[in-house]
Amino acid sequence: MSFQSTGVPPPPTPSYVSGPGSGGGAAPSLPSLYAPLTPSEKTYYDQLFAVADTEGTGQLQGMHAVNFFKLSGLDVSLLKNIWSLADSRQRHFLAREDFYVALRLIGLAQNGIAPTREKIQETATAPVPYARFSNVPLAPPPLPAPATATPPQDPATPSRSPAFPSSLEGDGYAMSSEDRARYLNHFGPCDVNGDGFVDGPQAVELFSRSGLDRSVLGRVWDLADADNDSRLSPGEFAVAMHLIVCISKRGLPVPERLPPSLAASLPPPPAPSAPATNAAAVPSPSPPPPPAPTPFLNTHLRAPQRPRPP
Protein backbone atom coordinates (compact mmCIF):
# COMPACT_ATOMS: atom_id res chain seq x y z
CA MET A 1 0.00 0.00 0.00
CA SER A 2 1.36 3.41 -0.92
CA PHE A 3 1.07 6.65 0.98
CA GLN A 4 -1.36 7.87 -1.69
CA SER A 5 -3.81 5.02 -1.05
CA THR A 6 -4.39 6.16 2.51
CA GLY A 7 -6.66 8.99 1.42
CA VAL A 8 -3.93 11.64 1.80
CA PRO A 9 -3.15 13.51 -1.46
CA PRO A 10 0.13 12.38 -2.97
CA PRO A 11 3.14 14.54 -2.06
CA PRO A 12 4.87 16.51 -4.79
CA THR A 13 7.93 14.94 -6.37
CA PRO A 14 11.02 16.84 -5.19
CA SER A 15 13.06 18.49 -7.93
CA TYR A 16 16.14 16.51 -6.98
CA VAL A 17 14.32 13.21 -7.62
CA SER A 18 13.22 13.97 -11.15
CA GLY A 19 13.74 17.18 -13.05
CA PRO A 20 14.88 18.84 -16.22
CA GLY A 21 17.94 17.25 -17.67
CA SER A 22 17.71 14.21 -15.47
CA GLY A 23 15.84 12.11 -17.96
CA GLY A 24 13.46 11.11 -15.16
CA GLY A 25 16.20 9.25 -13.32
CA ALA A 26 16.46 9.55 -9.56
CA ALA A 27 19.33 11.36 -7.93
CA PRO A 28 21.21 9.69 -5.05
CA SER A 29 18.70 8.85 -2.36
CA LEU A 30 18.56 10.46 1.06
CA PRO A 31 19.48 7.29 2.97
CA SER A 32 23.03 7.80 1.69
CA LEU A 33 23.01 11.30 3.21
CA TYR A 34 22.13 10.39 6.78
CA ALA A 35 22.61 7.52 9.17
CA PRO A 36 22.21 7.44 12.97
CA LEU A 37 25.17 9.13 14.63
CA THR A 38 25.48 6.79 17.62
CA PRO A 39 24.56 3.21 18.53
CA SER A 40 22.01 4.53 21.04
CA GLU A 41 20.31 6.63 18.35
CA LYS A 42 20.16 3.61 16.02
CA THR A 43 18.74 1.45 18.80
CA TYR A 44 16.05 4.06 19.50
CA TYR A 45 15.13 4.29 15.81
CA ASP A 46 15.05 0.50 15.49
CA GLN A 47 12.70 0.28 18.48
CA LEU A 48 10.42 2.88 16.89
CA PHE A 49 10.49 0.97 13.61
CA ALA A 50 9.37 -2.17 15.44
CA VAL A 51 6.44 -0.21 16.91
CA ALA A 52 5.44 1.24 13.53
CA ASP A 53 5.90 -2.00 11.54
CA THR A 54 2.93 -3.74 13.11
CA GLU A 55 2.97 -6.54 10.53
CA GLY A 56 6.68 -7.28 10.98
CA THR A 57 7.44 -7.13 7.25
CA GLY A 58 10.50 -4.90 7.54
CA GLN A 59 8.79 -2.43 5.22
CA LEU A 60 6.61 0.41 6.49
CA GLN A 61 3.62 0.73 4.18
CA GLY A 62 1.62 3.92 3.67
CA MET A 63 -1.21 3.37 6.17
CA HIS A 64 1.15 2.29 8.93
CA ALA A 65 3.38 5.30 8.22
CA VAL A 66 0.40 7.68 8.37
CA ASN A 67 -0.85 6.27 11.65
CA PHE A 68 2.58 6.31 13.26
CA PHE A 69 3.87 9.66 11.97
CA LYS A 70 0.68 11.43 13.11
CA LEU A 71 1.79 10.67 16.68
CA SER A 72 4.52 13.28 16.16
CA GLY A 73 1.91 16.07 16.31
CA LEU A 74 3.07 17.54 12.97
CA ASP A 75 0.68 18.71 10.27
CA VAL A 76 -0.30 16.11 7.68
CA SER A 77 0.92 18.42 4.90
CA LEU A 78 4.36 18.49 6.52
CA LEU A 79 4.32 14.71 6.98
CA LYS A 80 3.54 14.28 3.27
CA ASN A 81 6.70 16.18 2.39
CA ILE A 82 8.69 14.14 4.89
CA TRP A 83 7.36 10.92 3.29
CA SER A 84 8.32 12.23 -0.15
CA LEU A 85 11.87 12.95 0.98
CA ALA A 86 12.30 9.67 2.85
CA ASP A 87 10.81 7.62 -0.02
CA SER A 88 13.15 9.30 -2.51
CA ARG A 89 13.39 6.06 -4.49
CA GLN A 90 9.59 6.15 -4.91
CA ARG A 91 9.09 2.57 -3.82
CA HIS A 92 5.87 3.47 -1.94
CA PHE A 93 7.16 1.99 1.31
CA LEU A 94 9.89 2.83 3.79
CA ALA A 95 12.67 0.38 4.47
CA ARG A 96 14.56 0.72 7.71
CA GLU A 97 17.15 3.14 6.31
CA ASP A 98 14.38 5.28 4.80
CA PHE A 99 12.66 5.29 8.19
CA TYR A 100 15.86 6.68 9.76
CA VAL A 101 15.67 9.61 7.34
CA ALA A 102 11.98 10.21 8.12
CA LEU A 103 12.70 10.26 11.86
CA ARG A 104 15.56 12.69 11.38
CA LEU A 105 13.30 15.00 9.35
CA ILE A 106 10.55 14.77 11.98
CA GLY A 107 13.10 15.63 14.67
CA LEU A 108 14.17 18.69 12.67
CA ALA A 109 10.57 19.85 12.26
CA GLN A 110 9.79 19.36 15.95
CA ASN A 111 12.76 21.55 16.81
CA GLY A 112 11.88 24.46 14.54
CA ILE A 113 14.11 23.51 11.59
CA ALA A 114 12.67 23.11 8.10
CA PRO A 115 12.63 19.39 7.19
CA THR A 116 14.35 19.77 3.83
CA ARG A 117 17.09 17.96 1.96
CA GLU A 118 19.40 20.92 2.51
CA LYS A 119 18.82 20.98 6.27
CA ILE A 120 19.33 17.25 6.69
CA GLN A 121 22.70 17.69 4.97
CA GLU A 122 23.56 20.82 6.95
CA THR A 123 22.82 19.13 10.29
CA ALA A 124 24.15 15.68 9.32
CA THR A 125 26.63 15.62 12.22
CA ALA A 126 24.73 17.85 14.66
CA PRO A 127 23.09 16.18 17.68
CA VAL A 128 19.55 17.31 16.88
CA PRO A 129 17.01 16.32 19.59
CA TYR A 130 15.42 13.07 18.48
CA ALA A 131 11.90 12.69 17.12
CA ARG A 132 9.23 12.30 19.80
CA PHE A 133 5.90 10.50 19.50
CA SER A 134 2.92 10.57 21.84
CA ASN A 135 1.55 7.34 23.26
CA VAL A 136 4.81 5.52 22.47
CA PRO A 137 6.46 4.20 25.66
CA LEU A 138 10.00 4.84 24.46
CA ALA A 139 12.21 7.62 25.81
CA PRO A 140 14.78 9.18 23.46
CA PRO A 141 18.38 8.56 24.53
CA PRO A 142 20.61 11.43 25.68
CA LEU A 143 22.15 13.49 22.91
CA PRO A 144 25.82 12.81 22.21
CA ALA A 145 28.42 15.38 23.17
CA PRO A 146 29.51 17.71 20.34
CA ALA A 147 32.27 16.24 18.23
CA THR A 148 34.25 19.49 18.08
CA ALA A 149 35.84 21.06 21.14
CA THR A 150 34.50 24.46 22.12
CA PRO A 151 37.06 27.19 21.39
CA PRO A 152 37.98 29.76 24.06
CA GLN A 153 35.17 32.24 24.43
CA ASP A 154 34.53 35.53 26.13
CA PRO A 155 32.61 34.84 29.39
CA ALA A 156 30.06 37.51 28.48
CA THR A 157 29.18 35.72 25.23
CA PRO A 158 26.46 33.06 25.42
CA SER A 159 27.96 29.63 24.86
CA ARG A 160 26.86 27.50 21.92
CA SER A 161 28.30 24.24 20.72
CA PRO A 162 30.05 24.66 17.36
CA ALA A 163 28.44 21.41 16.22
CA PHE A 164 25.06 23.15 16.12
CA PRO A 165 24.05 25.42 13.22
CA SER A 166 23.12 28.95 14.18
CA SER A 167 19.37 28.23 13.92
CA LEU A 168 19.48 25.22 16.25
CA GLU A 169 19.04 25.19 20.00
CA GLY A 170 18.45 22.16 22.18
CA ASP A 171 15.30 23.23 24.03
CA GLY A 172 12.96 22.35 21.16
CA TYR A 173 11.47 25.85 20.71
CA ALA A 174 14.14 27.45 18.52
CA MET A 175 12.85 30.09 16.09
CA SER A 176 14.62 30.41 12.74
CA SER A 177 15.15 33.75 11.04
CA GLU A 178 12.71 32.63 8.34
CA ASP A 179 10.04 31.94 10.96
CA ARG A 180 10.62 35.31 12.61
CA ALA A 181 10.32 37.16 9.31
CA ARG A 182 7.08 35.33 8.53
CA TYR A 183 5.58 36.19 11.92
CA LEU A 184 6.56 39.85 11.63
CA ASN A 185 4.61 40.08 8.38
CA HIS A 186 1.51 39.99 10.61
CA PHE A 187 2.77 42.64 13.03
CA GLY A 188 2.00 45.73 10.94
CA PRO A 189 -1.71 44.96 10.41
CA CYS A 190 -2.09 44.27 14.15
CA ASP A 191 -0.36 47.52 15.16
CA VAL A 192 -3.49 49.53 14.43
CA ASN A 193 -2.37 52.79 16.06
CA GLY A 194 1.15 52.66 14.63
CA ASP A 195 2.94 52.99 17.97
CA GLY A 196 5.20 49.98 17.41
CA PHE A 197 3.25 47.68 19.75
CA VAL A 198 0.38 45.21 19.50
CA ASP A 199 -2.25 45.58 22.20
CA GLY A 200 -4.46 42.89 23.68
CA PRO A 201 -7.59 43.20 21.51
CA GLN A 202 -5.62 42.94 18.27
CA ALA A 203 -3.60 40.02 19.61
CA VAL A 204 -6.76 38.18 20.67
CA GLU A 205 -8.26 38.51 17.21
CA LEU A 206 -5.20 36.94 15.58
CA PHE A 207 -4.16 34.42 18.24
CA SER A 208 -7.67 32.99 18.61
CA ARG A 209 -7.51 31.70 15.04
CA SER A 210 -5.12 29.00 16.30
CA GLY A 211 -7.99 27.24 18.06
CA LEU A 212 -6.04 27.06 21.31
CA ASP A 213 -7.86 27.33 24.61
CA ARG A 214 -8.13 30.80 26.14
CA SER A 215 -6.09 29.76 29.15
CA VAL A 216 -3.27 28.58 26.85
CA LEU A 217 -3.33 31.86 24.92
CA GLY A 218 -3.20 33.75 28.21
CA ARG A 219 -0.13 31.76 29.24
CA VAL A 220 1.50 32.43 25.85
CA TRP A 221 0.92 36.17 26.33
CA ASP A 222 2.45 36.07 29.81
CA LEU A 223 5.55 34.29 28.48
CA ALA A 224 6.00 36.58 25.48
CA ASP A 225 5.33 39.87 27.34
CA ALA A 226 8.81 39.77 28.84
CA ASP A 227 8.74 43.33 30.22
CA ASN A 228 5.19 42.90 31.57
CA ASP A 229 3.85 46.09 30.02
CA SER A 230 0.61 44.55 28.66
CA ARG A 231 1.60 45.05 25.02
CA LEU A 232 3.87 43.23 22.60
CA SER A 233 6.89 44.68 20.84
CA PRO A 234 7.83 43.17 17.45
CA GLY A 235 10.21 40.71 19.12
CA GLU A 236 7.66 39.71 21.75
CA PHE A 237 4.99 39.36 19.06
CA ALA A 238 7.23 36.97 17.09
CA VAL A 239 7.87 34.93 20.26
CA ALA A 240 4.13 34.70 20.94
CA MET A 241 3.38 33.60 17.37
CA HIS A 242 6.15 31.00 17.50
CA LEU A 243 4.92 29.57 20.81
CA ILE A 244 1.42 29.25 19.33
CA VAL A 245 2.82 27.38 16.31
CA CYS A 246 4.93 25.10 18.52
CA ILE A 247 1.94 24.24 20.72
CA SER A 248 -0.81 24.00 18.08
CA LYS A 249 1.14 22.57 15.14
CA ARG A 250 4.14 20.71 16.56
CA GLY A 251 2.54 19.21 19.64
CA LEU A 252 4.98 20.79 22.09
CA PRO A 253 3.77 21.51 25.62
CA VAL A 254 3.20 24.97 27.04
CA PRO A 255 6.55 25.73 28.69
CA GLU A 256 6.70 26.68 32.34
CA ARG A 257 9.02 29.59 31.52
CA LEU A 258 10.23 31.20 28.32
CA PRO A 259 12.63 28.73 26.63
CA PRO A 260 16.23 29.99 26.52
CA SER A 261 16.36 30.02 22.72
CA LEU A 262 13.36 32.38 22.60
CA ALA A 263 14.50 34.48 25.55
CA ALA A 264 17.79 35.06 23.71
CA SER A 265 15.86 36.52 20.76
CA LEU A 266 14.51 39.36 22.91
CA PRO A 267 16.54 42.46 23.81
CA PRO A 268 17.69 42.63 27.43
CA PRO A 269 15.62 44.81 29.77
CA PRO A 270 16.92 48.36 30.18
CA ALA A 271 19.46 48.78 32.94
CA PRO A 272 18.28 50.74 35.98
CA SER A 273 19.57 54.30 36.12
CA ALA A 274 22.54 54.88 38.41
CA PRO A 275 21.79 56.61 41.72
CA ALA A 276 22.95 60.21 42.21
CA THR A 277 26.46 60.46 43.72
CA ASN A 278 26.28 64.11 44.83
CA ALA A 279 25.48 63.96 48.55
CA ALA A 280 24.59 67.65 48.64
CA ALA A 281 22.00 67.32 45.95
CA VAL A 282 18.43 67.29 47.12
CA PRO A 283 16.68 64.26 45.65
CA SER A 284 13.60 65.04 43.64
CA PRO A 285 10.36 63.43 44.74
CA SER A 286 9.92 59.97 43.30
CA PRO A 287 7.08 59.71 40.80
CA PRO A 288 4.22 57.47 41.82
CA PRO A 289 4.65 53.87 40.63
CA PRO A 290 2.80 53.00 37.44
CA PRO A 291 -0.34 50.93 37.87
CA ALA A 292 0.22 47.21 37.76
CA PRO A 293 -0.52 45.77 34.32
CA THR A 294 -3.83 44.02 34.03
CA PRO A 295 -3.42 40.34 33.24
CA PHE A 296 -4.08 39.65 29.56
CA LEU A 297 -6.26 36.65 30.30
CA ASN A 298 -8.60 38.56 32.61
CA THR A 299 -8.82 41.64 30.39
CA HIS A 300 -9.11 40.27 26.89
CA LEU A 301 -10.00 36.59 27.16
CA ARG A 302 -12.64 36.74 29.87
CA ALA A 303 -15.63 34.52 29.25
CA PRO A 304 -18.85 36.48 28.50
CA GLN A 305 -20.92 37.27 31.57
CA ARG A 306 -24.32 35.63 31.86
CA PRO A 307 -27.21 38.02 32.51
CA ARG A 308 -28.61 37.80 35.99
CA PRO A 309 -32.13 36.38 36.24
CA PRO A 310 -34.81 39.00 37.02
The string of pLDDT tens digits covering residues 192-244 is: 888 889 998 888 889 999 888 888 999 999 999 988 999 999 889 999 999 99
Of the three residues 122, 146, 181, the one that is the final residue of a domain is: 122
- Calculated CA dihedral for residues 248, 132, 158, 122, nearest 10 degrees: -100
What pLDDT shows up at residue 164? 36
Whether 262 and 191 share a structural domain? yes
Q: Which residues are CB-neighbours of 86 under 8 A, at least 6 positions away?
A: 30, 94, 98, 99, 101, 102, 105
Give the three-state DSSP class for 232. Answer: strand
Question: If you write DSSP's letter for every residue of the chain in order, what string do you get?
Answer: --GGGGTSPPPPPPTTTS-TTTTTPPPPPGGGT---SSHHHHHHHHHHHHHH-TT-SSSB-HHHHHHHHGGG---HHHHHHHHHHHTTT--SSB-HHHHHHHHHHHHHHHTT---SHHHHHHTTTS-PPPP--TT---PPPPPPPPSSPPPP--TTSPP--TTS-TT--TTS----HHHHHHHHTTHHHH-TT-SS-B-HHHHHHHHGGG---HHHHHHHHHHH-TT-SSSB-HHHHHHHHHHHHHHHTS-PPPPSS--HHHHTTSPPPPPPPPPP--TTSPPPPPPPPPPPPPPHHHHHSPPPPPPPP-
Whether 33 and 114 share a structural domain? yes
Whether 10 and 101 share a structural domain? yes
Whether 49 and 115 share a structural domain? yes
Whether 112 and 34 share a structural domain? yes
Query: What span, in angstroms and rounded, lies between the C-alpha atoms of 6 and 2?
Result: 7
Whether 173 and 263 share a structural domain? yes
Whether 101 and 173 share a structural domain? no
Whether 74 and 7 share a structural domain? yes
| Residue 108 maps to a domain | yes
| Residue 111 maps to a domain | yes
Whether 83 and 9 share a structural domain? yes
| Residue 226 maps to a domain | yes
| Residue 284 maps to a domain | no
Q: Which residues of the chain have pLDDT under 70?
A: 1-33, 145-171, 268-310
What pLDDT shows up at residue 48? 92
What pLDDT shows up at residue 223? 93
What pLDDT shows up at residue 274? 52
Of the three residues 87, 102, 122, the one that is the final residue of a domain is: 122
Structural domain count of the chain: 2
What pLDDT shows up at residue 158? 39
Task: List beta partners, residue 232.
Answer: 198
Global pTM exceeds 0.75: no
What pLDDT shows up at residue 115? 85
Using a 10 angstrom Cβ sphere, with 0-12 exposed, 13-18 middle and 19 or more buried, the burial of residue 300 is: buried
| Residue 154 maps to a domain | no
| Residue 78 maps to a domain | yes
What pLDDT shows up at residue 5? 45
What pLDDT shows up at residue 159? 40
Of the three residues 63, 97, 122, the one that is the final residue of a domain is: 122
| Residue 150 maps to a domain | no
| Residue 297 maps to a domain | no
CATH code (residue 47): 1.10.238.10
Whether 35 and 118 share a structural domain? yes
What pLDDT shows up at residue 142? 81
Tell me the residue range of the domain where 198 lies.
169-267
Whether 188 and 260 share a structural domain? yes
Whether 96 and 180 share a structural domain? no
What pLDDT shows up at residue 76? 84
